[in-house]
Structure 1
Amino acid sequence: MHLPSVTANGKGRARRAAKGRTVDAVARAGFVGRGVIYLLIGALALRIAFSDGGGRQADRGGAVAELADRPFGNVLLWLLGIALAGMALWRLSEALFGQAGPDGDKAGKRALSGARFLFYVFVSYSVLAYATGDEGSGSGSSDRQTKDVTAKALDWPGGQWIVAAAGAGVLVAGLWIAGRALLRKFHKRLRLSEMPRRMRQVTDVLGIAGGVARGTVFAVAGGFALTAALQHEPGEAKGIDNTLRSFTETGFGPWLLALIAVGLVAFGLFSWVNARWRKI
């Protein structure tokens, strides 16, 4: 007779746990971890703009390998992997119980959080696998992986349409990310009223520059995937590293890549701002 009440109480306790201090702490750790990755990718891209990049890839794999070469690199990798696992846990809590804010319970937002949960599970796993000695897991070339996946997909029935749809989706997502950054949509997710005025100004610069750079990279990568589908040529698809290198082939030479690289560093710093001021 009292099962509905018991179920409701159980859901209430689960929701409170999802909004509690533990999830708050692991989410903020996740933003720190995300910031580290983007700072390293930006630094690698800046190095590539004016040299060969020291043989490193300007992508997540290159960032992991770069971190591994630092003093206490293995310890740092474990900390990074655990932090990203925290981000995954937080995204899972959002998928199950809704995001912060008045419209956080919308099905679309919860589905997006679910997709982000799966993404961060994969990223965390790859970093931790690298830390345990499986170097191919964490530092694999995004370019090779992208071409391999594109080639397999193009061989499927209707594969050309699938790759085209995926490429168009990534392109649109990139434009969406850049557009939201320009409109400063990130304001509603931050505790702006608690920030000092100078911190708000710095946050706007980092959020806009970082979001536009990140969105531009996604949009261009999506454009390459769309080209690969239209030409039925998997070699036209590019991962993050080759996408970034393609900016040096424009009329602006290395300077456009340098600008994008600085923007990615800004996004890394913006992630650290989120670690402190984000509404969880």
Structure 2
Amino acid sequence: MVDKSEKFRWLVRLGFAARGVVYALIGYLALSSKGHSDGPSGSFSYLQKVPGGTVLLYAAALGLLGYGLYRLCSPLFDIENYGSDKTGIAHRAGHAGSAFAHFVLAYTAFQFASGSGSSGGSDTAEQAAGTVLSVSFGGFLVGLLGIAFFLAGLAQAKKGITASFMQRISNRAPDFVEWLGRAGFLARAVVFVIIGWSLVQSAWASSSAQVKTLGEAISSLADNGSLYTLVAVGFLLFGIFSMFMARYRIIPDLGSQGLKPSFRN
């Protein structure tokens, strides 16, 4: 009989696989379009058109939901023992943001699976930012979010440079997984900084028009052909990396003594 810990691990692994599919398609479609990216919505739209796409989208929605719940366990229960010092709190806060982002992705995948999805990510992002900017201290909040993206970008770059992510991957993983991760995290760093800058600009100008989605952030690099290609390739490689993570990521146990990791290979 499969216990709760085993079910938890399988759900998280499905989440890593779903994330891998989304990122790989983002990178592939960005390379195919040569200067334009629709981001996650483009990936879901692509899946919608392939044979068995509806089943894949429902599986992606479930996986992304599972990944979001996994990330939410970090700020709530410190599932991976980051601690409560400044660095630990920063990691856990970042995971809270990741949880929210993946809940949104899960909902979007579900919409496409049920036939009600659309590729209007840009309008949605602008509307959300416009709503925040319209309230008291809204510009301050959007500015803080922009700074958070800057810091997240720096964290992604640090992971890409130091390969610290390998500490939580089984030593049975192939050696090339490290280089897939390095390329992917560096590509994400570039995009996060672009999104952060767009949010800071929006806060400064009190206008939501500058807000960039993930797809728009990649597309904004189109005039710099080499960087655009490198980022697109990086996203594709990060997707492949995430698929290997689905197999080799060390997942904490969901035990009777609380949500705590058992880092074993």
TM-score by length of 1: 0.79
1:76 matched to 2:50? The reply is no
1:190·1:277 contact (CA, 8 Å) conserved in 2?
yes
- Aligned positions of 1:14-163 closer than 5 A: 20-49=5-34, 57-100=37-80, 103-104=81-82, 106=84, 108=89, 112-136=94-118, 139-141=119-121, 143-163=122-142
Q: Which amino acid aligns with 1:238?
A: K
**CA deviation after TM superposition for structure 1 residue 150, in Å:** 2.2
Partner residue, 1:10: none
1:236/1:112 Cα in 2 relative to 1: closer, same or farther (>3 Å)?
closer
Partner residue, 2:162: 183
1:163·1:229 contact (CA, 8 Å) conserved in 2?
yes
Q: Which amino acid aligns with 1:117?
A: A
Q: Distance in 1 between matches of 2:178 and 2:28?
A: 21
Partner residue, 1:205: 179
Select the structure of larger CA radius of gyration: 1
Count of residue pairs brought into register by the alignment: 246
Q: Using CA pairs under 8 Å that are at least 6 residues apart, name the structure with larger relative contact order, 1 or 2.
A: 2
Stretch deviating more after TM superposition (260-269 or 175-184): 175-184
Q: Distance in 2 between matches of 1:111 and 1:211?
A: 18
Q: Distance in 2 between matches of 1:96 and 1:160?
A: 28
1:34·1:268 contact (CA, 8 Å) conserved in 2?
yes
1:89/1:161 Cα in 2 relative to 1: closer, same or farther (>3 Å)?
closer
Q: Which amino acid aligns with 1:61?
A: S
1:38-86: CA deviation from partner (whole Å, max 9, x where unpaired): 0011112112325xx5xxx431111100110111211211121122222
Q: Which amino acid aligns with 2:249?
A: R
Partner residue, 1:233: 207
1:235-279: CA deviation from partner (whole Å, max 9, x where unpaired): 122112221111123xxx322211100000111011012111111
Q: Distance in 1 between matches of 2:133 and 2:100?
A: 24
What is the root-mean-square deviation in Å for CA atoms of aligned residues?
Answer: 2.3
**CA deviation after TM superposition for structure 1 residue 186, in Å:** 0.3
2:41·2:108 contact (CA, 8 Å) conserved in 1?
no
1:114/1:233 Cα in 2 relative to 1: closer, same or farther (>3 Å)?
closer
1:238 aligned counterpart, secondary structure? coil
**CA deviation after TM superposition for structure 1 residue 98, in Å:** 3.4
Higher helix share: 1
Partner residue, 1:273: 244
1:68·1:77 contact (CA, 8 Å) conserved in 2?
yes
1:246 matched to 2:220? The reply is yes
Q: Distance in 1 between matches of 2:54 and 2:128?
A: 29
1:222 matched to 2:196? The reply is yes
1:99·1:110 contact (CA, 8 Å) conserved in 2?
no
1:65/1:211 Cα in 2 relative to 1: closer, same or farther (>3 Å)?
same
Stretch deviating more after TM superposition (115-124 or 91-100): 91-100
1:46·1:262 contact (CA, 8 Å) conserved in 2?
yes
TM-score by length of 2: 0.84
Structure 2, unaligned stretches of length 5 or more?
Answer: 252-265
Q: Which amino acid aligns with 2:45?
A: A
**CA deviation after TM superposition for structure 1 residue 146, in Å:** 2.1
Q: Distance in 2 between matches of 1:239 and 1:81?
A: 20
Q: Distance in 1 between matches of 2:151 and 2:106?
A: 26
Structure 1, unaligned stretches of length 5 or more?
Answer: 1-16
**CA deviation after TM superposition for structure 1 residue 230, in Å:** 1.7
